[in-house]
């Protein structure tokens, strides 16, 4: 395998050189504990403050509304459990959707075992929720709406501003998992009426193992991790100093380059979609046609199975992902593909290719050239295809 083509930016991104350089001194000479009173501690504390201010600026928040966590999943857990338990005296009802990330879904299921009631909103064939269904789901016991900004599989972006307005009007906290959206969509937490927002560094060319939760001032929330006084006493544990510095730099770069980034990945994404749709029959394009992440392309190829597609692509050095059952280790295809109403047999042939800043037109053209051949090879082996084509093709 000579060249490798990475088209799985929604899984994780490579770190940018500028981010790495910013982080490096904080592993060695500027290693201090930010809680220490001496100069080592103070310079570490300063670095964290700078990162916090960069992140706040990126989403239109105040600096003291940003809390660093060990990643996006921790931020989701904290937001949902923290708000649920802190507001239990007001009610026990939470509204979410059927297409959330497992960090949200499994947290909600956990709370259901502890007496909370959860409404899982449906989505349409494009993965969009209905604002009417949302309004109808609200009761006087509803304390939290947790609804993802953009879907990690099919890329659909929800009407976050409208949802935020409804939540604000009804006096219900609104949390959004923006792990996929940050750095791909312009986000202003005030304009969108977001009360809590989960973020992750490694999806925006930053390091793994660090994320953040935006908590609007005044939101009643319990802590998840108790201990020292870090993060305004709300998230204990000595800070992941280099990680936080890297997250801050990555957020700054993401916002500086947002328009250019969107243009670059969207152009390549549209080129990929057109190339594949033109060359392959019996393929479905999933997600919303317009309201979607700029770098997300999601296909379902009929008569073949996603894992064999991924393996074949991998043999050519092309990295993608699939929501087929065989790659998730469970019997059913992904809950997102089920929620948009894809029949099982079509969902099994799904392929997600996600494009990022380092993707080139040559790489996309290579995929457009090779992918149809792989699909054809697998279809020639498939008894399902034989039925459609009468074994003739």
Residues that bind another protein (CB under 8 A): 11-12, 102, 106, 303-308, 311-312, 315, 321, 324-331, 333-334, 344-345, 348, 380-386, 391
In contact, 59 and 198? CB cutoff 8 Å:
no
Token pair listed for 343: 């029949």
* Nearer to another protein (CB atom), residue 30 or residue 106: 106
Q: Is 330 annotated as a binding residue?
A: no
Q: Is 350 annotated as a binding residue?
A: no
Pairing state of beta strands 5-6 and 318-319? Answer: parallel
Pairing state of beta strands 196-200 and 211-215? Answer: antiparallel
Cα separation, 101 vs 87, whole angstroms? 23
In contact, 289 and 273? CB cutoff 8 Å:
no
Q: Is 326 a catalytic residue?
A: yes
* Nearer to another protein (CB atom), residue 167 or residue 309: 309
Q: Which of 326, 338, 384, 388 does the annotation list as catalytic?
A: 326
Q: Give min distance, CB of 311 to another protein, in A.
A: 4
Q: Is 46 annotated as a binding residue?
A: no
Q: Give min distance, CB of 102 to another protein, in A.
A: 5
Q: Give min distance, CB of 2 to another protein, in A.
A: 17
* Nearer to another protein (CB atom), residue 171 or residue 329: 329
Q: Give min distance, CB of 321 to another protein, in A.
A: 8
Q: Is 180 annotated as a binding residue?
A: yes
Q: Please give the span between the terminal C-alpha atoms of the chain, in angstroms, as a whole number.
A: 30
CA dihedral sign, ordered 21, 23, 24, 30: positive
* Nearer to another protein (CB atom), residue 47 or residue 378: 378
Annotated binding site for [2Fe-2S] cluster: 326
Would you list which residues are annotated within the binding site for pyridoxal 5'-phosphate? 72-73, 152, 180, 200-202, 238
- Catalytic residue numbers read 326
Question: From the annotation, which residues make up the binding site?
Answer: 72-73, 152, 180, 200-202, 238, 326
């Amino acid at each position: 395998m000579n060249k490798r083509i990475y088209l799985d930016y929604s899984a994780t991104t490579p770190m940018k050189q500028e981010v790495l350089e910013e982080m490096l001194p904080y592993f060695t000479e500027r290693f201090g504990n930010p809680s220490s009173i001496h100069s080592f501690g103070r310079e570490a504390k300063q670095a964290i403050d700078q990162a916090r201010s960069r992140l706040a600026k990126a989403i239109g928040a105040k600096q003291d509304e940003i809390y660093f966590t060990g990643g996006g999943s921790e931020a989701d857990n904290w937001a949902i459990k923290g708000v649920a338990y802190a507001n239990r005296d007001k009610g026990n009802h939470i509204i979410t959707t059927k297409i959330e990330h497992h960090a949200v879904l499994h947290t909600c299921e956990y709370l259901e075992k502890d007496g909370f009631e959860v409404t899982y909103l449906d989505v349409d064939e494009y993965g969009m929720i209905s604002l009417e269904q949302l309004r109808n789901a609200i009761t006087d016991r509803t304390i939290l709406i947790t609804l993802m900004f953009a879907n990690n599989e099919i890329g659909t972006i929800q009407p976050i501003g409208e949802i935020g307005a409804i939540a604000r009007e009804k006096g219900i906290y609104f949390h959004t998992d923006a792990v996929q959206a940050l750095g791909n969509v312009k986000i202003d937490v005030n304009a969108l009426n977001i009360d809590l927002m989960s973020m992750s560094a490694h999806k925006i060319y930053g390091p793994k193992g660090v994320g953040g939760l935006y908590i609007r001032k005044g939101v009643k929330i319990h802590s998840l991790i108790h201990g020292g006084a870090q993060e305004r006493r709300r998230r204990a544990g000595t800070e992941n100093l280099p990680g936080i510095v890297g997250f801050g730099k990555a957020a700054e770069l993401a916002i500086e380059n947002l328009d250019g980034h969107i243009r670059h990945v969207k152009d390549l994404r549209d080129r990929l979609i057109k190339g594949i749709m033109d060359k392959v029959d019996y393929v479905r394009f999933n997600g919303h046609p317009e309201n979607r992440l700029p770098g997300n392309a999601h296909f379902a190829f009929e008569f073949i199975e996603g894992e064999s597609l991924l393996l074949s692509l991998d043999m050519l050095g092309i990295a993608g992902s699939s929501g087929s059952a065989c790659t998730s280790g469970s019997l059913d295809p992904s809950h997102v593909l089920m929620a948009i109403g894809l029949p099982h047999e079509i969902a099994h042939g799904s392929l997600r290719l996600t494009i990022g800043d380092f993707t080139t037109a040559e790489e996309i053209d290579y995929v457009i050239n090779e992918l149809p051949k792989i699909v054809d090879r697998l279809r020639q082996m498939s008894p399902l295809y034989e039925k459609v084509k009468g074994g003739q093709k």
